[in-house]
Structure 1
């Protein structure tokens, strides 16, 4: 449960807001910026430990399943997996499990988000057989200097 308060309430009565945080998370709304989320450190640690345990369990489950069954288990959440060739589905499952565990252990979920986004983009490419053919052909020309990557 998340209790919402205004920034002015936090300034006016910080002890009350601390009591609310003892009962659950507190979202502090601000007019001039993104809301803040206050939560007790022990709850954060518990969530982190739980995420790591879940990530390890999922990795182990996916590792012990045949590749086609592991991919099928993820299709409900990621229906575009069906667009990937079987060999690519196997790679997705492995990368997903590794990224999930790394994200949980670091407490930084952008790695998992990036992995899913990149594979979804790969699946999109497979919807265009002409593009797949073009990207599968050998490259025998020099296209010049590669530009610096753009930051997301």
Structure 2
């Protein structure tokens, strides 16, 4: 970061010439900053919108959704722990959420969705844990608990 500040014009000129992305590292655990040209950001946004629209079309095509879900499980191995029906739900939700995120240029909701599904797959990977969490609840939830019991 300090080298960039000292010679920012030189760094920006070189990055413009090469179409490189500048990553500015900070000290003391502070987050890095990423600088790129507006043209590069717009191109990435357009490509992401196109790809997300294509994914949505794939996952909503009854003839392709099973094959797509299987291929997707290959790129995210933890998806294989999900029950087959949940794999299809995950793939559809991921594509729909990605498309919505691409339309506004913010992907935090997509990352959150993937994390939630990864956590679900982790539960399914432990058969004892999955069984205990899937079991019926014996005590009714709609009755208040007596504080004296």
CA RMSD after TM alignment: 2.5
Matches within 5 A, 1:2-151: 6-8=1-3, 10-23=4-17, 24-31=20-27, 33-64=30-61, 65-139=63-137, 140-142=139-141
Question: For the Cα contact (< 8 Å) 1:96–1:112, is it kept in 2?
Answer: yes
Displacement, 1:119? 1.3
Secondary structure, counterpart of 2:31 in structure 1: strand
Gaps of 5+ in 1: 1-5, 146-152
Which deviations, in whole Å up to 9, do the C-alpha atoms of 1:8-37 show, x marking residues without a partner?
Answer: 3x3333332231231222233444543322
Question: For the Cα contact (< 8 Å) 1:126–1:132, is it kept in 2?
Answer: yes
CA 106–144 in structure 1, closer or farther in 2 if over 3 Å, else same = farther
Normalising by structure 2, report the TM-score: 0.76
Secondary structure, counterpart of 1:34 in structure 2: coil
Question: For the Cα contact (< 8 Å) 2:101–2:109, is it kept in 1?
Answer: yes
CA 130–34 in structure 1, closer or farther in 2 if over 3 Å, else same = closer
Q: How many residues align?
A: 139
Runs of 4+ with deviation above 4 angstroms: none
